[in-house]
Homo-oligomer: A and B are copies of this chain.
Amino acid sequence: MLRRKEKTPFYPDATPILQAVDCIIFGFERDEIKLLLFKRKIEPFKNEWSLIGSFVEPDEAVDDAAVRVLEEHTGLQNIFMESLGCYGEVDRDPGARVISQAYFALIRLGEEETQTVETLQARWFDFDSIPPLILDHNQMVEDALEKVRRKARYRPIGFELLPEKFTIPQLQKLYEAIYQRELDRRNFWKKIQSMNVLEKLDEKDKSTSKKGAYLYRFVQHRYEEMVEQGIDFVL
């Protein structure tokens, strides 16, 4: 393992650069996709709105740094997270030359999470009221949202934003929020049923209608079987 400031015989002419990770955190609540932002704790730009981030430690993989950052700031583990891309302009951070690797995470919002996370210096924002962020973080958010929109159509990442048990109308609301347009109830139903990736439960959710809607669960292995059969997931 390499230690800080230890010299190695190789690459003597190369200059090390500060490496950061930043994490774009999406949630879904009351038919809206939300973004979790934090008040920055260090200078420069202390107390301004920002994504969460951290520098990559010398003995830590970049992916691991992203996971660590998310856990440190939200207490959440086993969250869906994926690389978004590298932000490497020379002057992007006036504090120093910093290269940032951006990640986006999708969080299931229950009542607890909403509370917990907002305890200190953090807040969920609707997309039409995102404040100016530090550095190139607004750009990162825009890029992340576009990536989620494109990806949700062909990969079952939407389920990461819903609680484990959800109703079909809830799922539809989510996709309507992602695509920013209304979908036809019946066609959506047929589509999702035809893929056979949901398990119907015996419970009903009566919070939004008198009749009540059946709860479902996403079944990962059914999705994998579907892919193996060469059937495409498209929603």
Q: Give residues in A with beta carbon < 8 Å to B.
A: 1-2, 4-5, 8, 10-11, 13-19, 42-44, 55-63, 83, 85-86, 88-90, 95-99, 101
- Are B101's CB and A56's CB within 8 A? no
- A44: chain B residues at CB < 8 Å are 10
- A15: chain B residues at CB < 8 Å are 4-5, 16, 18, 55, 57-58
- Are B55's CB and A90's CB within 8 A? no
The answer for the CA separation of A88 and B98 in the assembled complex, in Å, is: 15
The answer for the CA separation of A56 and B57 in the assembled complex, in Å, is: 18
- A89: chain B residues at CB < 8 Å are 61-62
Q: Which residue of B lies closest to A60 (CB)?
A: B90
Q: Work out how many copies of this chain go into the complex.
A: 2
- Are A2's CB and B96's CB within 8 A? yes
Contact partner of A11 (CB less than 8 A), chosen from B55, B83, B99, is: B55
- Are B83's CB and A86's CB within 8 A? yes
- A61: chain B residues at CB < 8 Å are 88-90
- A96: chain B residues at CB < 8 Å are 2, 8, 10-11
